[in-house]
Amino acid sequence: MPDRNGETFGSLEDLMSYLNAIENTMEGEVSKIADSIDAVTDRISTTLRAALGESAWFPDFKPPPPPPPPFVARHVGYYEASTNWISRHRAVTAAVVCFLGTGAYMIWRQRRANRMKRRAKRAKNGQRTEVLVLAGPPSAPLTRSLSLDLERRGFVVYITVNSLWEERLIQAESKADIHPLHIDITSPSSVSSTIRKFNDLLDPSYGPRYPLHLASFILLPQTPSTPQPGAIADLSADSWSDALTTHLLSPFTLLQAFLPLIQSHKSTMLFLTPTNPTSLSPPQRGLENVVGGGMERFISTLRKENATSEGGSIVQFKLGAFDDGSDRDAMKMAVALRHDNGNMSSTPSSPVTEQRRMRGSPLRELHLEVFDAIVGKSRGVVYAGRGSRTYDYLGRTMPEGLVGWMLGLRTIKQKEKAQANADEGAPSSAGSPGWEPVEQVSEGESR
């Protein structure tokens, strides 16, 4: 086989050696060419990198954000929507739950208390053993209502009287367990004799087989009502004497006579005092304000003295407006007060409007509260009737000037200006809508 120079290879080994030499030569040449290309590429990349790094005009390149996922509308149910709202407004939800829960509990408790049967204790043979003394005018609607309700609940009720006419008034009810208790507080010997006989009645050795227990002494002091309001300077000494004797001295003397018997039986003393609107101490109502304040101080002193002894509890009822007609007296007082100060409206009102305005709480509410106080479930001060708590709060906390403005009081200059406007035929600007004269109230009652 000839070679490239025309020579021939003598053997196969010579041929293989020749081919290996060619292969080595080619590998070296290829390696040199690759190294040259790498060097040139490195120089180009280094030059470009330096040029781009030193140039300030080349902007920074940021890839654009990916597109948002497509919105797919999903139907949310009421339950899921409610839970989502509750999770976002936890404070509001907690407040609403507390408010509704407290209100529901109070309503449930009130209804449960109203449905609960209230009956006095009796002996094993069914005989009545609980006795009450009701010190109040027998002709008053509140006295009659309380006596009938307490008698129906199993008490033996004694109503204090001081005249034959009042005794016949009680006997006309034809109730076997409502009795008159005649007591003349002007005669100390008569008072002592009556208390001794009443004590013998409770004693089992003189009375029935089973002993009687004086459960409570209920005092209903009446607030004096003057036909026409007047200033303190216009009240006579006889008016003051009659009011203080009838509405303060007489109840104090009566309670003082029964006090030893009350303490021995550990009876509950109940004071039912009106609140509307004497708690505001309106002007030109000196008799009512003095009697109400004197009764408040008497009850407070008696409560402190009773705390040191072993007597029964003392409960004061601050009464508001009821449907028995007592609220109309308070309304008359307020209307007359505004009438005297010239702060009245000339707009007439219908009897229906007057009836709605003078509507009070039902007497059943007072009956239940009185029974609970007798059996010891209530203590301290109990508010009963529409407006009792509000009037008492306003009288204790509101400034006198603001209370006077609410009652429609005006200064002398304002009265003179209103009178001048009335003389000229111009309507007074100080009128307060919604208040009518006493004559209209009386007309609404008669209808």
Cα Rg, the chain, nearest whole Å: 49
Q: Please report which confidence band the pLDDT of residue 331 belongs to, taking 50, 70 and 90 as the band edges.
A: very low
**Beta-bridge mates of residue 319:** 274, 384
Q: What percent of the chain has pLDDT over 70?
A: 73
Residue 118 has pLDDT above 90, yes or no: no
- What does the pLDDT read at residue 139? 86
Tokens of 358: 């003078």
Tokens of 157: 């009720």
pLDDT tens for each residue of 243-295: 888 888 888 888 888 888 888 888 889 999 888 767 777 777 778 888 888 88
Q: Find out whether 261 and 132 touch, Cβ atoms under 8 Å.
A: no
Residue 430 has pLDDT above 50, yes or no: no
Q: Please report which confidence band the pLDDT of residue 58 belongs to, taking 50, 70 and 90 as the band edges.
A: low
What is the rounded average pLDDT of the residues 417-426?
55
Looking at per-residue confidence, does 130 or 19 come out higher? 130
Q: Is 273 helix (H, G, I), strand (E, B) or coil?
A: strand
**Lowest model confidence (mean pLDDT) among 56-70, 131-145, 182-196:** 56-70
Q: Find out whether 28 and 22 touch, Cβ atoms under 8 Å.
A: no
- What does the pLDDT read at residue 31? 84
- What does the pLDDT read at residue 308? 74
**DSSP category for residue 106:** H
- What does the pLDDT read at residue 443? 41
pLDDT tens for each residue of 175-228: 888 999 888 888 888 888 888 888 888 876 655 567 788 889 999 877 666 555
Looking at per-residue confidence, does 57 or 405 come out higher? 405
Looking at per-residue confidence, does 47 or 226 come out higher? 47
**Lowest model confidence (mean pLDDT) among 62-66, 195-199, 362-366:** 62-66
Q: Is 423 helix (H, G, I), strand (E, B) or coil?
A: helix
**Lowest model confidence (mean pLDDT) among 7-11, 17-21, 386-390:** 7-11
Query: CA separation (Å) from 264 to 210, 215, 311?
Result: 18, 11, 7
- What does the pLDDT read at residue 328? 46
Q: Please report which confidence band the pLDDT of residue 337 belongs to, taking 50, 70 and 90 as the band edges.
A: very low
Looking at per-residue confidence, does 166 or 419 come out higher? 166
**Beta-bridge mates of residue 131:** 156, 214
Residue 98 has pLDDT above 90, yes or no: yes
Q: Please report which confidence band the pLDDT of residue 417 belongs to, taking 50, 70 and 90 as the band edges.
A: low
The reply to whether the predicted model has a pTM over 0.75 is no
Q: Output the average pLDDT for the chain.
A: 76
Residue 348 has pLDDT above 50, yes or no: no
- Cis ω for the linkage preceding 277 (within 30 of 0): yes
- What does the pLDDT read at residue 341? 45
Query: Residue 162 and residue 185: Cα distance in Å, rounded?
Result: 8
Looking at per-residue confidence, does 267 or 63 come out higher? 267
- What does the pLDDT read at residue 394? 81
Provide the residue type at 340 as one letter: D
Backbone φ and ψ of 152, nearest 5°: -70, -25
